[in-house]
Amino acid sequence: MTTAPWPKAVRRPGPVVRSALAQALLGANALLVVLPMIFMVLSSLKTTREIFRDPFGVPAALRWDNYAQLWSAAHFAVYFRNSVVVTVLSMALLLVTGTPAAYALGRYAFRGNDLIFLYFLSGIMVPIRLAVIPLFIMMRDLRLLDTFGSLVLVYAASGLPSTVFILTGFFRGLPQDLDNAARIDGAGEFGILWRVLLPLVRPALAIVTVYNIIPIWNDFFFPLVFIHQDALKTLPLGLTVFFGEYQTNWALLFAGLTLAAAPVLLLYIVLSRQFIKGLTAGAIKG
C-alpha cells in the first residue's frame, strides 16, 4: 500500500516582494488621481481647438489669458467668493456645534449616552438628499431661499453626524485624569475643552475638516435647488455658465476647474500632517 506524497508547502512572497507590490499598487493609484489633474491644468492653457486636436499633448503656447478672461468676464470672482463664504460659515457652525456635543458624549457617562450617540450615527446612514422636498419647503417657510443661510444650515446639519462620530471616539480615548487635574486647578468645562482637550484632538479636527470641506466646496445639488440669483451662485453652479446650448468654451471651463480645485488641494497640503496622524491614531486605537 502506497501513501500519497505530502503537498509541497506554498512559499509566501517575502517582505521585499510584498513591499514592492504595495508600492506598485499605491503608485498606480496615485497615477489615476494625478494624471487627470495634470491633463486638466494643461487643457486650461490651450484653446478649445487645441483641446480637441491634441487632448493629451503639451500646449504649443501657454495661454495664461484664459485665467485673466475667466476672472474678469465670467464672474468667477463672485462665484469663488460665494463658495469661500458658504464653506467657511458651514465649517464654523459645524465645528462649534459638533465639538461640544462630541465632548459631552465622549467625556461624560450618563443615562442615554449610547442612545444619543447611535442617533447621531444613524444620520450617517441616511442621505440628506432624500429629504430635499421637505428641506425646500422648510427653507421657503423660513424665507431662506436665495440666501447663504439655506446652504450653511443644510451643510452643517449633513456634516454633524460624522463630526460627532469622529470626535467622540478621540475624546473617549483621552485619559480621564486630564479632566480631573484641570478641575483641581480651577478650570471650568469650557476651559477643559478649549485649553486641555482640543490641542490633543487636532488630528481629529483635521480629519473632520478635510472630510466635510471637500463635499461642501464641490456640492452642486443644493445650490441648484436653493439658489436662483446669479450673484449668489457658488463655484460648481457658476461654472455651468460655460455650457452653452450650441457650444462650450472648454478652455475657460478647464481654467475654472483648475482654480476651483486649487484651494482644496492647498488645504489638504497644509493639514496633511495632522490628517495622516489622525488616521494613524485611529488605526492604532482600533
Residues 100 and 33 in one domain: no
Asked if 196 contacts 179 with a C-beta cutoff of 8 angstroms, the reply is: yes
Give the three cell numbers for residue 263: 484651494
Asked whether residue 115 is domain-assigned, the answer is yes
Based on the domain organization, do 90 and 44 belong to the same domain? no
Do 187 and 254 fall within a single domain? yes
| Residue at 279 is within a domain | yes
Question: Are both 23 and 137 inside the same structural domain?
Answer: no
Answer yes or no: do 125 and 234 share one domain. Answer: yes
Are residues 142 and 34 part of one domain?
no
C-alpha span between 202 and 171 (Å, rounded): 11
- Residue 9 placed within a domain: no
Both 107 and 198 in one domain: the answer is yes
| 48 and 80 share one domain | no
- In this structure, the answer to whether residues 38 and 99 fall within a common structural domain is no
DSSP code, position 243: B
Residue 14 lies in a domain: no
Residues 124, 183 within the same domain: yes
pTM reported for the whole predicted model: 0.83
Determine the residue type at 150. Answer: S
Please determine, for residue 228, whether its predicted confidence score (pLDDT) is greater than 80. yes
With respect to residue 3, please indicate whether it lies within any of the assigned structural domains.
Answer: no
Mean pLDDT, residues 276-282: 62
Q: Give the domain extent around 25.
A: 19-53
Neighbours of 14 (CB within 10 A): 9
My answer on whether 209 and 274 are in the same domain is yes
| Predicted local confidence at residue 286, as pLDDT | 42
Q: How far apart are CA 108 and CA 198, in angstroms?
A: 16
Query: What is the spatial distance between Cα 78 and Cα 63, in angstroms, rounded to a whole number?
Result: 23
Q: What is the CATH number of the domain that holds 128?
A: 1.10.3720.10
Say how many domains are in the chain: 2
Q: Is there a domain that residue 59 lies in?
A: no
Distance CA(225)–CA(136), nearest Å, equals: 8
Higher per-residue pLDDT: 97 or 73: 97
CB 106, CB 168: distance < 8 Å: yes
Q: Residue 270, Cα to own-chain centre: how many angstroms?
A: 14
Query: Dmax over Cα atoms in the chain, in whole Å?
Result: 91
Nearest to 215 by CA among 122, 100, 98, 86: 86
**pLDDT over threshold 70, residue 173:** yes
Residue 166 near residue 72 (C-beta atoms within 8 A): no
Could you report the per-residue pLDDT of 28-73, keeping only the tens digit for each?
988 898 898 899 999 989 988 888 888 888 887 888 888 888 887 7
Q: Note whether residue 33 is domain-resident.
A: yes
Q: Does 26 map to a domain?
A: yes
- Answer yes or no: do 142 and 229 share one domain: yes
CA dist 131 and 218 (Å) reads 20
Rounded Cα gap, residues 126 and 158, in angstroms = 10
Nearest 5°: the CA angle 246, 250, 254 is 150
Residue 109 reports pLDDT greater than 80: yes
Taking the C-alpha atoms of residue 86 and residue 74, their distance in angstroms, rounded to an integer, is 20
Q: Is the pLDDT reported for residue 11 higher than 70?
A: no
